[in-house]
Structure 1
């Protein structure tokens, strides 16, 4: 209520997400240049940890499937950070969800979307679902899209949550790991949605950029010997 009275976003959800990431052993580094203005982040999706990492690093509001709202702790933290929970099974609700997303974007808070719609094994990308990208055409204001590659490096396969693995089983497996978990947020070149003919072009442009980064930075790729310098996030 205090922050709403000041018409400012509370800093606590972002801090809590960052602290939660550190509590599970995650250490985040940044590669590339996060766009400083209003931004719509499109990222690959490997793990439930993605929400902690992206939220803690950027303060973004998420577009996430409504099942996350029922997750202990993570769901509550996501809700506090203005997450828009999307009912994937109710296609008739899409129009209202787009309206809600457009309203959120007008609040000058970064918005993050995992356009694959679910998690993958991290070795590549699933098809991007362009439906919610309709909110960007026409752009509600000077919003740029920035693709983000969430890169867990050599531990990707070990922490990825995909297939039929239950959420509790994955969480137990990830939390039971020894040592820290390094993750690189690779902020790729932003682009203007106004330059795209439709939402499918937006999805394809972002997907191509992230796919190229995955290929370039694969643990067994020669390109990993020439990775750009990274900046560790400061302690929360």
Structure 2
């Protein structure tokens, strides 16, 4: 490739980034406007109109950034706890665009400009990381939502991994499924490039900022995404550590990873 071709390619990537970023900003503003209307009408996050808006909005985020999603399996029924590997901030709009979900997030997200407000108004459960009773309180809240027949999503790794492997699953929050006698559905996510290889740019890892990660993703022509909704696990009378281990194993198998 000569210098002119490289310059042209950089220019095309820049145009793609700018166009998608502006599109995404407009989409966020539309989400704020529509959410404000529903809040003004005193609609709750569990209201069907609110849920439909949330799912549409999240689905569009993935489309705007160039995601092409292939789904395998079906989401578990309401009242189930979904446990997924965690690669990127993109996991949330990805899964939320597939089915109605209640999200579990770190408490710091509440302080994010605009997005924190949207998350809070959409019924997100927030966990105080680092606090002694933070996981216990979150587990109790999850169990309550499961008993109310909500479908709750959590990321048991507690942070993002590199899209090549998974981190050990923390067992504490699996207690919520045991308490509510709710099934657990493992969910496996894998991001690929145009050549079908593990995508190196999607993982959102320290010390990268959210904006740096977003800007890199926006330059990509297309991101291939695989979502595997796996067979549900009966949580009754099973220790939470065993549930966490088995869930992690099933996700690793779906991603064709060797057991640690």
The reply to whether TM is greater than 0.5 is: yes
- Within the candidate set 83, 90, 115, 1:49 is matched to 90
Aligned residue for 2:97, secondary structure, equals helix
Partner of 2:232 in structure 1? 190
Mapped contact 2:77–2:151 kept (Cα < 8 A): no
1:109 paired to 2:142: no
1:170 paired to 2:227: no
Partner of 1:12 in structure 2? 53
Mapped contact 1:59–1:81 kept (Cα < 8 A): no
Unpaired stretches in structure 2, ≥5 consecutive residues? 1-40
CA distance in 2, matches of 1:84, 1:130: 18
The total of aligned residue pairs comes to 213
Q: After superposition, where does 1:34-183 map in structure 2 within 5 Å?
A: 34-138=75-179, 140-141=180-181, 143-153=182-192, 154-175=197-218, 177-183=219-225
1:165 deviates by 1.6
Mapped contact 1:13–1:80 kept (Cα < 8 A): no
Partner of 1:29 in structure 2? 70
CA distance in 1, matches of 2:108, 2:45: 31
Mapped contact 1:46–1:121 kept (Cα < 8 A): yes
CA distance in 1, matches of 2:172, 2:223: 33
CA distance in 1, matches of 2:79, 2:46: 20
Mapped contact 2:45–2:122 kept (Cα < 8 A): no
Mapped contact 1:119–1:161 kept (Cα < 8 A): yes
Mapped contact 2:190–2:198 kept (Cα < 8 A): no
Residues 90, 40 of structure 1: alpha-carbon distance in 2 compared, 3 angstrom cutoff = same
Mapped contact 2:157–2:168 kept (Cα < 8 A): yes
Unpaired stretches in structure 1, ≥5 consecutive residues? 218-236
Partner of 1:230 in structure 2? none
1:23 deviates by 1.5
Mapped contact 1:115–1:130 kept (Cα < 8 A): yes
- What is the CA RMSD across the aligned residues, in angstroms? 2.4
TM superposition score normalised by structure 1: 0.81
Larger Cα-atom Rg: 2
Mapped contact 2:110–2:117 kept (Cα < 8 A): yes
TM superposition score normalised by structure 2: 0.74
1:192 deviates by 0.6
Mapped contact 2:45–2:123 kept (Cα < 8 A): no
